[in-house]
Amino acid sequence: MSDRKDDMNPGQPDWDDLKGLWQESPAVDLGKLARNARLVWWRMRIIAAFEMLCCIAGALVFAYMIYDAESNAQLVFGVFGVLFSLGGGYGCLWVRRNAWGAPDDNALSLVRLQINRAEAAIKYVSLNNWLGLGAVAIFPLAYWVIHDGTRELTPERLDNFNKMVVVAAIVMGVSIIGLWPYGKRKKRELAELKELERQLLDESD
């Protein structure tokens, strides 16, 4: 595309000069880019597979607990655990739903994809909070299980169990508090993406 010199302002380079200027660019490490693209592609899939495997493994462990239950408490604990694991797995899938879009989509659909991602991230924070709350229900159930009379409960064993509960509670608390700024950032990003979507819609009119 070429245009006459007097198209641009006097004193400014003409269009062909601008093109020349534009096309002088620094070299980029293309090998590194290619390697990284492949790496990210596999990483995305490995993380998703790992999440699902964890949830399935969790569900299987709790399912075995149901099969091997010696008391009602163990049965209830097992059922709760299976539901919790499957719910977690479904939650992961739900959060990732629409998170991967077609790479050759147009700008508007990509912006909408980004909006989906930002909304998914906000939902993820919310899900984490609810899972944290749900996990609180595990504690009384776990105490019920260890007091169900099917095992000898020594003070040392009870002490270890209490320590484990405290650690689990701290981990849950940290994950809820730690994700709070992330959720806030995602909400801000969502507002900006919606503004961009509006601009793109205006342009297509």
Partner 1 sequence: MDFKAVLSDYGPMLSRIVASYEADPAQQQEVLQEISLALWQALPKFRGEGSLKAFVARVAQNRAVTHVAKAASLPRKAELDERLACAADGPEKSLEKEQQRAMLLDAVRTLPLGLRQVTTLALEGFSHREIAEALGITENNATVRFARAKEALKLAMVSGPRVRGGVS
The Cα 13–Cα 26 span in angstroms is: 21
24 binds partner 1 (CB under 8 A): yes
The Cα 56–Cα 62 span in angstroms is: 10
**With contact defined as beta carbons under 8 Å apart, do 145 and 69 qualify?**
no
Per rule CB under 8 A, count of chain residues that contact partner 1: 45
Site residues (CB under 8 A) for partner 1, limited to 38-67: 38, 40-41
Q: Which helix (H) or strand (E) holds 73?
A: helix 72-96
9 binds partner 1 (CB under 8 A): yes
133 binds partner 1 (CB under 8 A): no
**With contact defined as beta carbons under 8 Å apart, do 179 and 100 qualify?**
no
Nearest-approach distance from CB 36 to partner 1, in angstroms: 5
**With contact defined as beta carbons under 8 Å apart, do 57 and 45 qualify?**
no
- Print the binding letters for residues 82-121 with partner 1: x by CB under 8 A, - otherwise: --------------------xxxxxx--xx-xx-------
Complex with partner 1: residue 36 or 162, whichever CB lies closer: 36
Token pair belonging to 97: 């739903």
Token pair belonging to 36: 């990284």
Q: Which of 7, 68, 70, 159 binds partner 1 (CB under 8 A)?
A: 7
**With contact defined as beta carbons under 8 Å apart, do 118 and 186 qualify?**
yes
Binding site for partner 1 (CB under 8 A): 1, 3, 7-9, 12-13, 15, 18-19, 21-28, 30-31, 33-34, 36-38, 40-41, 102-107, 110-111, 113-114, 189, 192-193, 195-196, 199-200, 203
